[in-house]
Amino acid sequence: MPKTRDIQALPIWKGRATLGEGLLWSPSRNRLFFVDILGKRVLSCAIDGSGVQQWAMPRRVCWLVECAGSGDFLVGLEDSIVYASFIPGAPVEILRNLDWRLALPPTARFNDAKADATGRVYCGTMDDKESAPIGALFTIAPGGAVAQLDAGYTVTNGPAISPDGATLYHTDSPARTVYAFKRAPGGMLSAKRPHIHFAEADGYPDGMTCDAEGGLWVAHWDGGRVSRFHPDGSFDRGITVPASRVTSCTFCGPNFDRLAITTAAYERESEPLAGALFIADPGCVGLAAGRYGLAA
């Protein structure tokens, strides 16, 4: 796919996250939240990068989703999912564990997740050694029930949901493939198909988000950019990021017209902006992130 250089991402925080991921914009807090998986921390800042706050986590932390009503978060740690509270100036408070009864393979860990507009969470697991297809895609219903939807992934990434809720996108990064599923009103998935395939020169598809027009924005790990694809999977345009390992993106700001982007400093000591948090003007608007626990 072409590399476009008409849109540039600018750094707003240069703290070098070892593995930045899981971007979330909280309208009620007017702040961005993201995780540093290998750094075992959750971070938060204003849309201009100011007022950075961080919370040390007991284990690697992979994603977080706001909970509806309570002000707490549902958080994916490497080996469990917990409810947690992040209060500025105070240590993280782990409130309780989600009742997860499905067994995971010994080398599997959680990796990425997203909530839909009904309060349902889609989350994936991956092989911690990044070599075997032992990862799976799960759903967590608003009431807490967990079900496996798909399997055979080495490194799950993504999930993103189309504005009409009819399509869920999910990625196996080592396969360089973004898949699309038909999504039923109750949240179940069917009709899996390859949607976008990355060439070697493009790097690997990582975190994703949809805009209000149905465009899919995909971060390029080892590709140094974020690309927008039309709903039919054709390439539209890109954003250049001055760091090679781009990991996730989300729309943010009062009008959801800015795109925040995380990166990773892991094995990129020679890149001065690796691990930074970036912001760009994507030329379109996005949607509010789903919150866990809303009534379906």
**Among all residues, which ones are annotated catalytic?**
206
- Alpha carbon dihedral 231, 25, 185, 284, in 10-degree steps, equals -30
For residue 11, the surrounding DSSP H or E stretch is: strand 10-13
CA 85 vs. chain centroid, Å, equals 20
173: left (phi > 0), else alpha (psi -120 to 50), else beta? alpha
Tokens 């038909």 found at: 182
Structure tokens belonging to residue 165? 């809720």
Instruction: Tally Cβ neighbours within 10 Å of residue 133.
Output: 15
Residues 207 and 277: their CA atoms lie apart, in Å, by: 14
Residues 262 and 248: their CA atoms lie apart, in Å, by: 5
Angle among Cα 246, 247, 248 to the nearest 5 degrees reads 115
Residues 274 and 27: their CA atoms lie apart, in Å, by: 27
Residues 172/156, Cβ–Cβ less than 8 Å: yes
Name the phi and psi angles at 120, rounded to 5. -90, 140
Nearest Cα neighbor of 26 from 248, 253, 293 is: 253
